[in-house]
């Protein structure tokens, strides 16, 4: 993260392109267009854009969608890549050109809406078959991220959507490796923050993935009528994946594709309007936005005839959760809980449309997909891992050298105590 990032997004892009190291190890796949959405806060953008430029397989088009009114008209830059084939070179390799396009997405209401607005402003090209969607704070954690995605797509051609493993910004702790359905919500079954030791790399088909770092085929967007921005950035990926799974498609997570995701808005490092939170200020609480996204998902996951009862139950639940938040000395979250049932009422029109789309596109129920369900056994194992991780986090783990040193000290103390006891006995 760069705390002193320039406010000139065009200057950042130009400087990074000019400083891009020349390499024969790279190739270009013109069937992929990367789209990076950028907020007012630019602290993470240069790291993300640079990580994209370092990919062994570069997307043929890189779109930077500015959501902060800094790009008044589209601007295009290009650079060439000369890939070096394996083995003996008999002919001069062909130049491949990568387009970098800056566009504005000022009025976007969500991440996916910014992506849609960006690619609608220019001819993306008939050769493009998929979008690689990135937040400005979700950088590829290594140079093989897109390559792993493309290999997985090639080996799983029936996949409707491919997601990446989500890590923290340093790239060591886990956020999620796909998600599973659990009643009227989705859960990751990953302990947030636990070290990535490839313990979840056996996952493949899941119920949902994060759209940050996801490879989204254009055919999927067309078949499922795009991504619904009504759910917001925190909820649109779960609704989109739900429609794919219930409609007979496949959502696949690719653990070898690693995305380091700062989750700036979720972690309170960024305000809802995209501005950065000052370093000396308290983190902004994203609790209300997260709970609203969960509530939208829950309403649209049940038949509309159940909505009145669900709303009445939400009032009772709000009272209980509000009291619990007050007991935990979280008054803001208590207020959020108490207002949630009433905040849900203006959104009923959007919920009605979203539920109609689910019913129209759905072919099976979630219960008919047991492998994509969290299940009691998986949930129990996750809770046990979570308790163990939290207990371990508060415990100092000693290495073998430290343990040997303590054993020597303990033996020396016992020896001295025995000698003192023997002397006292003689005297």
The tens digit of pLDDT for each residue in 190-203 reads 999 999 999 999 99
Residue 15, pLDDT above cutoff 50: yes
> What confidence tier does 360 reach under pLDDT thresholds 50, 70, 90?
very high
Per-residue confidence (pLDDT) for residue 4, from 0 to 100: 43
What's the pLDDT score for residue 405? 67
What is the pLDDT at residue 411? 83
Q: Residue 396: is its pLDDT beyond 60? A: no
Binning pLDDT at 50, 70 and 90, where does residue 370 land?
Answer: very high
Q: Using pLDDT thresholds of 50, 70 and 90, give the confidence band for residue 77.
A: very high
- With the C-alpha atoms ordered 162, 166, 172, 173, is the resulting torsion angle positive or negative? negative
89: pLDDT strictly greater than 70:
no
The answer to whether residues 257 and 171 touch, using CB atoms and an 8 Å cutoff, is: no
Q: Which two tokens stand for residue 375?
A: 């299940």
| More reliable by pLDDT, 141 or 401 | 141
> Exposed, middle or buried, 288 (CB in 10 Å: 0-12/13-18/19+)?
middle
H or E element, residue 100: strand 96-104
5: pLDDT confidence band, cut at 50, 70 and 90?
very low
DSSP assignment of 64-107: EEESSS--SS-EEEEEEE----SS---SPPPPEEEEEEEEE-TT
pLDDT number for residue 110: 96
Contacts of 41 (CB under 8 A, 6+ apart): 136, 264, 269, 270, 274, 275, 276
Band the pLDDT of 90: cuts 50, 70, 90.
Answer: low
Confidence at 83, pLDDT banded by 50, 70, 90: confident
Give the whole-angstrom CA distance, residue 199 versus residue 422. Answer: 54
Rounded distance, CA 109 to CA 117, Å? Answer: 10
- Please report which helix (H) or strand (E) contains residue 257, including its range: strand 251-261
Which of 9-23, 188-202, 299-313 shows the lowest per-residue confidence on average (mean pLDDT)? 9-23
Strand-pair category, 57-66 with 130-135 = unpaired
Split at pLDDT 50, 70, 90, the class of 21 is confident
Residue 146: Cβ-neighbour burial (10 angstroms; 0-12, 13-18, 19+): buried
Q: pTM score, two decimals?
A: 0.88
Please state which of the ranges 68-72, 170-174, 305-309 shows the lowest mean pLDDT. 68-72
Contact between 136 and 45 under an 8 Å Cβ cutoff? The reply is yes
Question: Mean pLDDT, to the nearest integer, of 368-381?
Answer: 92
Lowest mean pLDDT among 13-22, 148-157, 398-407: 398-407
Residue that has been written with the tokens 């499922």 in this structure? 224
- Chain-wide mean pLDDT for the chain? 91
Higher-confidence residue of 223 and 84: namely: 223
Kindly tell me if the per-residue pLDDT of 220 is higher than 90. yes
DSSP SS3 for 34: strand
Distance CA 98, CA 95 (A): 10
Mean pLDDT score, 257-263: 97
Beta carbons within 10 angstroms of residue 332's beta carbon: 11
Which two tokens mark 348? Answer: 């009923």
* Residue 67, Cβ density class (10 Å: 0-12 exposed, 13-18 middle, ≥19 buried): buried
Confidence of residue 94 (pLDDT cuts 50, 70, 90): confident
């Amino acid at each position: 993260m760069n705390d002193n990032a320039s406010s000139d997004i065009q200057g950042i892009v130009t400087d990074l392109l000019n400083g891009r190291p020349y390499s024969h190890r790279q190739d270009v796949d013109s069937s992929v267009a990367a789209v990076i959405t950028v907020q007012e806060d630019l602290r993470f953008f240069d790291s993300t854009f640079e990580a994209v430029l370092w990919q062994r397989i570069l997307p043929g088009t890189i779109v930077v969608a500015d959501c902060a009114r800094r790009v008044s008209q589209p601007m295009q830059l290009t650079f060439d890549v000369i890939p070096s084939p394996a083995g003996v070179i008999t002919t001069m390799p062909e130049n491949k050109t990568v387009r970098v396009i800056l566009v504005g997405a000022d009025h976007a209401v969500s991440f996916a809406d910014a992506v849609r607005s960006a690619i609608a402003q220019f001819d993306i090209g008939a050769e493009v078959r998929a979008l690689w969607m990135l937040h400005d704070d979700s950088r590829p954690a290594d140079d093989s991220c897109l390559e792993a995605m493309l290999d997985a797509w090639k080996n799983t051609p029936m996949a409707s959507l491919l997601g990446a493993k989500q890590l923290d910004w340093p790239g060591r702790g886990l956020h999620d490796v796909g998600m599973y359905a659990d009643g009227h919500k989705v859960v990751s079954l990953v302990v947030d923050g636990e070290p990535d030791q490839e313990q979840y790399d056996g996952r493949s088909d899941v119920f949902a993935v994060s759209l940050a770092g996801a490879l989204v085929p254009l055919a999927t967007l067309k078949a499922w009528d795009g991504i619904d921005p009504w759910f917001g950035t925190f909820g649109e990926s779960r609704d989109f994946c739900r429609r794919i799974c219930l409609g007979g498609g496949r959502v696949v997570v690719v653990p070898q594709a690693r995305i380091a995701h700062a989750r700036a808005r979720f972690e309170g490092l960024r305000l809802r309007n995209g501005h950065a939170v000052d370093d000396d200020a308290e983190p902004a609480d994203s609790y209300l936005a997260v709970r609203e996204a969960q509530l939208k998902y829950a309403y649209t996951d049940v038949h509309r005839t159940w909505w009145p009862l669900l709303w009445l139950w939400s009032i009772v639940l709000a009272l209980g959760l509000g009291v619990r938040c007050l007991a935990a000395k979280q008054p803001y979250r208590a207020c959020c809980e108490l207002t949630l049932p009433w905040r849900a009422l203006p959104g009923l029109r959007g919920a009605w449309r979203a539920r109609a789309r689910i019913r129209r596109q759905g072919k099976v129920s979630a219960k008919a997909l047991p492998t994509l369900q969290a299940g009691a056994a998986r949930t129990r194992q996750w809770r046990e891992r979570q308790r163990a991780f939290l207990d371990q986090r508060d415990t100092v783990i000693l290495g073998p050298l430290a343990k040997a040193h303590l054993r020597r000290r303990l033996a020396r103390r016992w020896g001295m105590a025995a000698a003192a006891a023997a002397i006292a006995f003689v005297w």
